[in-house]
Amino acid sequence: MNNKRIVITGIGVLSPIGIGKDSYWKSLADGVSGIKPITIFDTSKFKVKNAGEVMGFDAREILGRNGLVDLDRTTTLLSSAMKFAIEDAGLKISDKNSHRTGISVGTTFGSLHSLSEFDKDCLIHGPKFVNPSRFPNTVINSPASRAAIRFGIKGFNTTISTGFCSGHDALDYAIHALKFDRADRVLVGAVEEICLQTFFGFYRLGYLSGLEGNSQTISRPFDNNRNGIVFAEGASVIVLETLNSALRRKAKIYAEVLSVASNFDPRGFHKYNKKADGIIDAMRSAIKTSGLSNKDIGCIFTNANSTKDGDAIETKAIKTVFEDCYKKIPVTAIKSMIGESFSASGGMNLVAALGSLEKRFIPQIINYKTKDSDCNLNHVLKTIKGRNLNYVMVNCFDPSGANSVLILKKFKGRKNA
């Protein structure tokens, strides 16, 4: 592969703790929790009633009133984040450059609600009475396709669905497209919505915090009393382009993507590999590809989502990879604030890491009270401000075997490019 350098020049995000990058970063720095009572659907029949919902989201305020009638929540979340990212990057998409602008989006459950509602109408009222305008929302590539239509983007349009790692893998796909000259810029997104169908699925599987006894619904990664995930949603989009392209148009550069490493470590459906082979290999591969040493990593943004096995396995992986220096590397877990947004989680973590590089802070892990001897890392329990980071690692993995790790580098300025 060629040696083109890949940089990030635009950011858009909608999260349970803020809409827009500045609001999101401020809430992360302040340790704000976005876990609140669900308003999207009725929770009266459920024991768990809280989640990480994007509150105050009105697509009309961001996208305007036209063309929203037949769009589902996933699509409007993604399109809103894309609008923010395009504006932040100062992109002017026209007939001259739209064919060289691509879209790569990670999502897994993005069409589940639309598919379920479409099928329900069909079964209850009969196929003749189903609204055909709702059918396009039932396919998983609909959010990316609809966003492309809205913004006039005519380059490649790809949807990646690899579970929790979808966002990272969409980024990896985009990097390859840029390096092999398939595009000049790529809008890389990750999105998931809260809906009754997905919530109920994880509720019935017993994965949600708050199901045991009288326990509280709370996300507390690495804490000894952690007892499951808190359901969440979100959307992020970054503008990715080559360094030469960014320099030519004098764009603001947030960071350089040094490496993305992915693998699949199948040990059983929804069953973590307790040996942590997959995440260990992905972390080592990311470091090797980046050309860095272990001691160069200034912070690790973990996947930690408050599951008993998952957090302990990630701890084991970090200790194995970083050996003697793991005690010195700050480790944070933003899912303590925003919950588990599945395919969107990698993107939310990525934007948080960009905030750390840009605003010089490392967000704290909230809700941590009781130490777990199986999770003995250098946890950030109070926001570290004024920390000048050069390199950060962002982890993502899931119980089905997917593992993806990326490393970002702070951009030092045009003179050093």
Residue-wise pLDDT tens digits, 289-338: 999 999 999 999 999 999 999 999 999 999 999 998 999 999 999 999 99
More confident residue, 219 or 113: 219
Instruction: Dump pLDDT digits (tens) for 387-402.
Output: 999 999 999 999 889 9
The most confident of the ranges 51-55, 117-121, 395-399 is 51-55
Q: Are residues 242 and 272 in the same domain?
A: no
Number of domains in the chain: 2
pLDDT of residue 257: 98
| Lowest pLDDT segment from 274-278, 293-297, 359-363 | 274-278
pLDDT of residue 250: 95
The whole domain housing 274 covers 259-411
Q: Please determine, for residue 1, whether its predicted confidence score (pLDDT) is greater than 60.
A: no
More confident residue, 377 or 416: 377
Q: Are residues 176 and 294 in the same domain?
A: no
What is each CA distance from 254 to 243, 259, 274, 289, in whole angstroms? 11, 16, 36, 21
Instruction: Dump pLDDT digits (tens) for 125-175.
Output: 777 777 777 777 778 899 999 999 999 999 999 999 999 999 999 999 999
pLDDT band at 415 (very low <50, low <70, confident <90, very high): low
Q: Are residues 109 and 48 in the same domain?
A: yes
pLDDT band at 177 (very low <50, low <70, confident <90, very high): very high
| Mean pLDDT taken over the chain | 93
Q: Are residues 235 and 298 in the same domain?
A: no
Q: End of a domain among 248, 272, 290? A: 248
Q: Are residues 280 and 314 in the same domain?
A: yes
Q: Are residues 153 and 302 in the same domain?
A: no
Percent of the chain with pLDDT over 90: 84
CATH code for position 283: 3.40.47.10
* pTM metric for this prediction: 0.95
pLDDT band at 40 (very low <50, low <70, confident <90, very high): very high
pLDDT band at 116 (very low <50, low <70, confident <90, very high): confident
Q: End of a domain among 224, 248, 272? A: 248
Q: Are residues 263 and 380 in the same domain?
A: yes
